[in-house]
A and B are shown apart, each in its own frame.
Chain A
């Protein structure tokens, strides 16, 4: 009689233990899935930071280029204007004489 009783108790205890083991595994699974979200967020944040850094680097570089371009353009413009001025000095006298000639010459 006693052995049968303790036997059943042993089995019941084993079942309980089994249940506990399975529940523990299920809880661990839930926790792990939550971790997925957290770790994903961390990775994404790191990726964003990387992209931002790259973007800023490109931005700084291109604005440096633009600055150089503007200077070059300004210099070219000044050179063109200087050329014009010296050219004007060269031809001014002839142009004036030509204009005067046409004004004072009448072909009737």
Chain B
């Protein structure tokens, strides 16, 4: 081989070495780009998923809180309406209680009422001997109807005329004065008890109002509410 040929061969080999290196570098570069993309995508997707879940959870919490708040407000408003209804119904009872005070002012009617109340109490107690208590201001009226009352009871129950002991010492509280509606008061009527005091029958006008009111309450409420719904 002469020098030119050797030189040529050397050049070829140099070029070859360079070519191989560049090819390898290229491969590395391409692989790098692929790995870059895959790595970046994986990282991004993993984090995005976490973030999505986080916000889903946040939104759910907000939803729940809203529902709870609304439900609370609904309840509060229902209670408000029920309270209003209750207040209205109670003021009707109070109005009735006020008018009740006028009952004892009509002597004739009241006297008759007292007699009926005493008879009713006797019929309920079914005792041969009873205690009777009334308001001090009603004492005279009561004593005036004791006779007729005993007779009526004896006839209706088919027994002997009972013994009625009127309490002259302790009376039912009087009608309320304007200034004192919070103290004890009685609008009229009587209280009877078995002679041993163990069975008591309250037949005062106030007690009767309580009983009637409680009994009629559903009906009154229905009247009140029915037309609101309509």
Give A residues with C-beta under 8 Å from B.
Answer: 3-4, 7, 10-11, 13-15, 17-19, 21-22, 24-26, 28-29, 32-33, 35-37, 39-41, 43-44, 47-48, 51-52, 54-55, 58-59, 62, 66, 69-70, 73-74, 76-77, 80-81, 83-85, 87-88, 91-92, 95-96, 98-100, 102-104, 106, 108
Contact = CB atoms under 8 A, between A and B. Distances in A.
Contacts of A88: 88-89, 91-92, 224
Interface of B is mostly: helix
Interface stretch (B47-55, B125-133, B162-170, B173-181): B47-55
Nearest to B74: A73
Interface of B: 3, 6-7, 10, 13-14, 17-18, 20-22, 24-26, 28-29, 31-33, 35-37, 39-40, 43-44, 47-48, 51-52, 55, 58-59, 62, 66, 69-70, 73-74, 77, 80-81, 84-85, 88-89, 91-93, 95-96, 99-100, 103, 109, 113, 116-117, 119-120, 123, 152, 156, 205, 208-209, 212-213, 216, 220, 223-225, 227-228
A5 B70 CA distance: 95
Given A103-B209, A108-B119, A48 B51 contact: yes
